[in-house]
Chains A and B, each alone.
Chain A
Amino acid sequence: MSLFGTTSGFGTGGTSMFGSTTTDNHNPMKDIEVTSSPDDSIGCLSFSPPTLPGNFLIAGSWANDVRCWEVQDNGQTIPKAQQMHTGPVLDVCWSDDGSKVFTASCDKTAKMWDLNSNQAIQIAQHDAPVKTIHWIKAPNYSCVMTGSWDKTLKFWDTRSSNPMMVLQLPERCYCADVIYPMAVVATAERGLIVYQLENQPSEFRRIESPLKHQHRCVAIFKDKQNKPTGFALGSIEGRVAIHYINPPNPAKDNFTFKCHRSNGTNTSAPQDIYAVNGIAFHPVHGTLATVGSDGRFSFWDKDARTKLKTSEQLDQPISACCFNHNGNIFAYASSYDWSKVRIPRPALGAARQQSRALGWESIGLSCDSSPDSHHSFGQSPAHGKCPVSVSGHRLPCPWVQKDGQAGG
C-alpha cells in the first residue's frame, strides 16, 4: 500500500492565514482533521459499507486522486492508499462487499479500484465527464451505474467494456442516488427522473422539480420498513425539497425548506443564499445532514420538520459529506467549491499553488454526540459516542495535536 505521494507544499506556499490561530475558523467544531488530506478541493466522500470491518473513508479530489484512509475508533486516521485518474475525480462509491471502490472522473472514465491488490482498471467510458457513480446490487444482477454530462446513464458490468444498458437523460446528469430498488437522477434544467431497478433498470417517472433553481445534490431516504420511499433534493438556492414518491397526500407530505442562508429566518434583511453541496441521511435515525457553501453543516429531522443542529461556520465551503455505515461518524470536506466563480488568487500560476492560496482543503469527521440535538427524536442513544472528529490538514497545524480527544 503506498502512502500518499507528494505532499509537497507542506509549509510552503501557504497564505498568511497560518499563525493567527486564534481567529482562524478552519476547524471551529474542533472536529478531527484527517491527516494527509488531498491537495485540491474534495469533490466526494464515501465510507465503507458494513461488510467491511472497521471504517474506511474514500475521498476523490480535484487533484485527480482518490485517497483512502482507515478511520479508527479512537478517531485516528491512517492514510492507506491512493489512486490517480487523469482528471479530477467527481464521485466515488464502494461495492457492497467492500472490496472495490469505483471512481468517476472528468477524464470521462470510471475505474474500479481493487483495494486488496491496489490495482485500478477502467470499467466505463463516456463522452463527457462522469459525474456520478453508484453500485447497484440486485438479486439478479449487479452493476455500476454512471451518470455523465453527456446526458446518458450507463450501466456497466465491470467485466465488459460495453455497457449493459444506456438510458438517455434529458440533460446533463448533475447528481444521483441509488438505494435498491430505486434510483433518482437530477439533471440540468431542473430535470428529475426516478428509476426502478428491479429486473433491469427502467425509468419509473419523471417528476416536476419542486425547486426553482439548479439541482445540486440528491439523496434517497427510506421509510420505517427500510424501503426507499422518497428523496431529498438540494439546489443552489439554499433550499432542500423533500419529496415522496407515492405519498398519501402529496400536497402536505412534500415540502421544501430553506437552509444555508445567512440570516436564518429573519427575512427582512437580504440574506446571503448558499448552495447546498451535499445531503446525507443517517443510516439509523433517518435524520438528514446538509452541507453548504456557507461552510456549515446542519442536521435536520424531516419528519418533525425541524432543524436539529447547525455547526459553526467554517472558513471554506463544505463540498461533500458522508455518514459511515452505522452513523457514528460524519465526515465532511472543507474546500473551495467554486461557488464564488472567482479564480483563487494569485490568479495565474499552477493549479496546485492556487488551490493552496485559498486556504486548505480538509476533511473533518465528527460525531454528533450531543444528546440534546436529538431530543425531538425521542430516540435513545444519540448519534454516537465517537469522541473525535478529525479533519485533514495539509499544513502542519496545531489542531491535530491539540484536541485531546484526537488520537485518544
Chain B
Amino acid sequence: MTICQFFLQGRCRFGDRCWNEHPGARGAGGGRQQPQQQPSGSNRRGWNTTSQRYSSVIQPSSFSKPTPWGGSRDQEKPSFSSFDSGASASRNRGFGLSENPFASLSSDGQKDEKKLLEGIVKDMEIWESSGQWMFSVYSPIKTKPNISGFTDISPEELRLEYHNFLTSNNLQSYLNSVQQLINQWRNRVNELKNINISTKVALVRHLLYVPCHIQKLNQAAPTFGFGSRQTTTFGSPGFPVNSSSSDNAQNFSFKTNSGFVPAPSGSPSGFRSPPAFGGVSSASSAISTSTPVFGFGKPEITSAASFSFKSPATSTFGSPGFSGFSASSAADPVRAPLAPAFGSVSSVAGFGSPGSHSYSAFSKPSNDTFGNSSIPTSLSVSNSIVATDNVLFTPKDKLTVEEVEQFQSKKFTLGK
C-alpha cells in the first residue's frame, strides 16, 4: 500500500480509517502482505496487482543469450512492480521506526538495490573504457527508466550542429560546447561509478520508487548551454527547478512545467505536482532530468527556496501499456528541450517560434515563461487514470526528491 504522507507529517485526518499505510502505527502486525487484491482498476493504479516479483527482473548487464529479461513483458506494464517491492520494503520495516521509511529497507529491497547499483557501476566502467558513444541515455535494466543526467544526442545531430557552426564560422564555440558535453558526461559517469550515499539514495528513489513511465516522461531532451546565452529557464526564481540534493547541480534538475512554447510536440513532459496540500491534482514528475544544462548562467541549483507550487498538471500517465510514454498525442506541454542555444543562433534550431518543435538538442526554448500558468497542463487526457485519484494528496512515490525530504523533515523548510 502507499504510505500516507500526511501521517508522516503527523496530520492525517483519516486516522485509522485512512486507506494508506501508516507506518509504525499498524505495520507491525506483520505488515499488510501484498494480497493479490484489486485485480484491476483500483485507484492504486495497479501498483498492487503486480505478480512479477522484482527480483526476477534484475539482470544487471549480463546479456547472456536468452536473456531472461523478458518475462511476459511485452504487453505488461512492469514498472509498477518495482514500486511495489519498494513499498513493501518500507512497509515491512515499519514497526518502531518513526516516519522515515527510507531510512532502511528490508533485506529484499536491499539486495535488489545492491544488484542494481553494482550493475550500474559496472556499466559505467564499461562505458568509459570502451570508447562507445557518450551522448546516450542509459538505463540499467530494460524495464527501468533512463537514469537522469545523460542526454541523448545522435551522431547525426551532433554533426549537423557542426555543419551549422561551420557555416557561421564559429567553430570554436562548437568545440567548446562539445567539450562541455563531454565533461558533463564524464562527471556523471564518475558520479555513478563511485556511488556515494546521496547518489545512491537518489538513484534508488528514481529507479525503484517511481513508476517507470513517469520517469520517461521526465527525461528532458538534451539541454545544453552553449554560447553565452543565459539559461534563464533555470535561473529565474520561483522556478521549480532544483537539482536533487544528492546530485551535483549539473546533472540533475527537476523540470517542471516549463512554460515553454506550448508546442504540440509530443515530447514527454515532466510535471511537478505540488505536494498534497497544494490541493491539486497530481502528476508528480518525479525526478525529471533536464539533461545537463551546462554552466551558463545558473546551472540548476538547488534550493528549496526555488521550489514553487505550481499549478499543476494533470498528468496523465498513459495506460500501462505504454512503456513510459504518456499518450502524448496531444499537445505537449512541456518539455520542449530546454536547451539554451548555442551561442550563435543556429538557423536550424527551432528557436522561439511557437510552432516549432525544437527538436535539437541545441535549441533554445522560446521563452522563459516558467512560472506562468500558461503552462499547458495536460498531456493527452484520454488515457488518464490518475487524475481523479490524487486530488487530495499525492502519493509518496509521486513526489520529487525534495518534496519527499520536506515531508520527512521535522520542519517544513520550503519557501523559507
Give A contacts to B, CB under 8 Å: 43, 62, 87-88, 90, 106, 127-129, 131, 148-152, 167-172, 174, 188-193, 205-214, 216, 235-239, 245-247, 250-258, 261, 270-275, 305, 337-339, 341, 343, 347-348, 350-351
Ordered by A's residue number, 26 sampled pairs between the chains whose C-beta atoms are within 8 Å are A88-B159, A88-B163, A106-B163, A128-B356, A128-B357, A149-B157, A149-B360, A151-B359, A168-B266, A168-B330, A169-B266, A171-B152, A188-B137, A191-B325, A206-B325, A208-B323, A212-B123, A212-B141, A214-B136, A214-B152, A250-B74, A255-B67, A273-B130, A341-B155, A343-B174, A347-B171
Q: Which of A213, A239, A305 contacts B137, CB < 8 Å?
A: A213
Q: A213-B132, A236-B132 are in contact. List 15 more A-B contacts (CB 8 A).
A: A88-B160, A106-B348, A150-B350, A167-B329, A171-B152, A174-B154, A189-B137, A192-B323, A212-B140, A238-B130, A253-B70, A254-B67, A270-B130, A273-B130, A275-B132
Please measure, in the bound complex, the distance between the C-alpha atom of A212 and the C-alpha atom of B131, giving whole angstroms: 16
Taken residue by residue from 267 to 299, chain B's Cβ proximity to chain A (1 for < 8 Å, 0 otherwise) reads as 110000000000000000000000000000000
For the residues of A in contact with B, the DSSP-based class is loop
- Across the interface, name the chain B residue whose C-beta is closest to A214: B136
CB distance from A25 to the nearest CB of B (A): 19
Q: Does B126 contact A (CB under 8 A)?
A: yes
Contact status of A188 and B152, CB under 8 A, knowing A212-B138, A236-B136: yes
* Residues of chain A with a CB closer than 8 A to B69's CB: 210, 251
Please measure, in the bound complex, the distance between the C-alpha atom of A207 and the C-alpha atom of B139, giving whole angstroms: 15
Taken residue by residue from 166 to 182, chain B's Cβ proximity to chain A (1 for < 8 Å, 0 otherwise) reads as 10000100110010001
- Contact between chains at A272 and B70 (CB < 8 Å): no
- Across the interface, name the chain B residue whose C-beta is closest to A239: B63
Please measure, in the bound complex, the distance between the C-alpha atom of A190 and the C-alpha atom of B182, giving whole angstroms: 20
* Residues of chain A with a CB closer than 8 A to B139's CB: 190, 209, 212
Contact status of A128 and B63, CB under 8 A, knowing A62-B159, A214-B136: no
Q: Which of A168, A239, A255, A341 contacts B66, CB < 8 Å?
A: A255
- Contact between chains at B129 and A270 (CB < 8 Å): yes
Q: Does B310 contact A (CB under 8 A)?
A: no
Please measure, in the bound complex, the distance between the C-alpha atom of A252 and the C-alpha atom of B135, giving whole angstroms: 31
Please measure, in the bound complex, the distance between the C-alpha atom of A247 and the C-alpha atom of B157, giving whole angstroms: 35
- Across the interface, name the chain A residue whose C-beta is closest to B174: A343
* Residues of chain B with a CB closer than 8 A to A270's CB: 126, 129-130
- Contact between chains at A127 and B154 (CB < 8 Å): no
Number of B residues, CB within 8 Å of A: 75
CB distance from B214 to the nearest CB of A (A): 13
- Contact between chains at B160 and A305 (CB < 8 Å): no
Taken residue by residue from 144 to 155, chain B's Cβ proximity to chain A (1 for < 8 Å, 0 otherwise) reads as 001000001011
- Contact between chains at B67 and A256 (CB < 8 Å): yes
- Contact between chains at A127 and B156 (CB < 8 Å): no
* Residues of chain A with a CB closer than 8 A to B155's CB: 275, 337-339, 341
- Contact between chains at B73 and A208 (CB < 8 Å): yes
Please measure, in the bound complex, the distance between the C-alpha atom of A348 and the C-alpha atom of B165, giving whole angstroms: 11
Most A-side CB within 10 Å, residue of B158, B171, B174, B323: B323
- Contact between chains at B63 and A275 (CB < 8 Å): no
- Contact between chains at A43 and B65 (CB < 8 Å): no
- Contact between chains at A338 and B359 (CB < 8 Å): no
* Residues of chain B with a CB closer than 8 A to A236's CB: 132-133, 136
Please measure, in the bound complex, the distance between the C-alpha atom of A192 and the C-alpha atom of B71, giving whole angstroms: 18
Contact status of A343 and B162, CB under 8 A, knowing A237-B132, A275-B133: yes
Contact status of A343 and B350, CB under 8 A, knowing A152-B266, A170-B328: no
* Residues of chain A with a CB closer than 8 A to B61's CB: 212
* Residues of chain B with a CB closer than 8 A to A213's CB: 132-133, 136-138
- List the 4 shortest-distance A-B pairs measured between CB atoms, nearest first: A168-B266, A128-B359, A149-B359, A214-B136
CB distance from B90 to the nearest CB of A (A): 25
* Residues of chain A with a CB closer than 8 A to B268's CB: 170-171, 189
* Residues of chain B with a CB closer than 8 A to A211's CB: 142
* Residues of chain B with a CB closer than 8 A to A87's CB: 160
CB distance from B244 to the nearest CB of A (A): 19
Please measure, in the bound complex, the distance between the C-alpha atom of A174 and the C-alpha atom of B157, giving whole angstroms: 10
Taken residue by residue from 61 to 95, chain B's Cβ proximity to chain A (1 for < 8 Å, 0 otherwise) reads as 10101111111111100100000000000000000
- Contact between chains at A151 and B266 (CB < 8 Å): yes
* Residues of chain A with a CB closer than 8 A to B174's CB: 343
Contact status of A250 and B73, CB under 8 A, knowing A189-B146, A258-B63, A341-B182: yes
Please measure, in the bound complex, the distance between the C-alpha atom of A236 and the C-alpha atom of B70, giving whole angstroms: 21
Q: Does B30 contact A (CB under 8 A)?
A: no
Q: Does B219 contact A (CB under 8 A)?
A: yes
Q: Does B415 contact A (CB under 8 A)?
A: no
- Contact between chains at B65 and A255 (CB < 8 Å): yes
Q: Which of B78, B123, B130, B159 contacts A338, CB < 8 Å?
A: B159
- Contact between chains at A150 and B357 (CB < 8 Å): yes
CB distance from B73 to the nearest CB of A (A): 6
- Contact between chains at B356 and A252 (CB < 8 Å): no
* Residues of chain A with a CB closer than 8 A to B328's CB: 168, 170
Q: Does B134 contact A (CB under 8 A)?
A: yes
Please measure, in the bound complex, the distance between the C-alpha atom of A252 and the C-alpha atom of B69, giving whole angstroms: 9
Taken residue by residue from 353 to 385, chain B's Cβ proximity to chain A (1 for < 8 Å, 0 otherwise) reads as 001111110000000000000000000000000
CB distance from A290 to the nearest CB of B (A): 15
